């Protein structure tokens, strides 16, 4: 399940502002990104 494009942009901007060094290591296909994306989808109920 993928996050809608608008939420992906918001997600990356928010995390990049808070943790710029760590976000440099995070890619869209990384396990960390996938776990966080899944958790966000669960929280907002997006299908």
| 1-47: pLDDT as tens digits | 566 788 778 877 887 777 777 666 666 667 777 787 778 778 777 55
The structure's pTM equals: 0.40
Q: How many CB atoms lie within 10 A of CB 3?
A: 19
Helix axes 31-44, 5-18, angle to 10 degrees: 120
Q: Quick one: pLDDT at residue 33? A: 74
Q: Which residue has the tokens 């299908």?
A: 47
Ramachandran area for residue 4 (φ above 0: left; ψ -120 to 50: alpha; else beta) = beta
Q: Which of 19, 6, 11, 18 is nearest to 38 (CA)?
A: 11
pLDDT for the residue numbered 23: 67
């Amino acid at each position: 399940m993928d996050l809608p494009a608008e939420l992906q942009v918001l997600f990356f901007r928010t995390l990049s502002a808070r943790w710029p060094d760590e976000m440099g290591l995070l890619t869209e296909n990384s396990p960390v990104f996938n776990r966080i994306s899944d958790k966000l989808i669960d929280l907002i109920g997006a299908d």
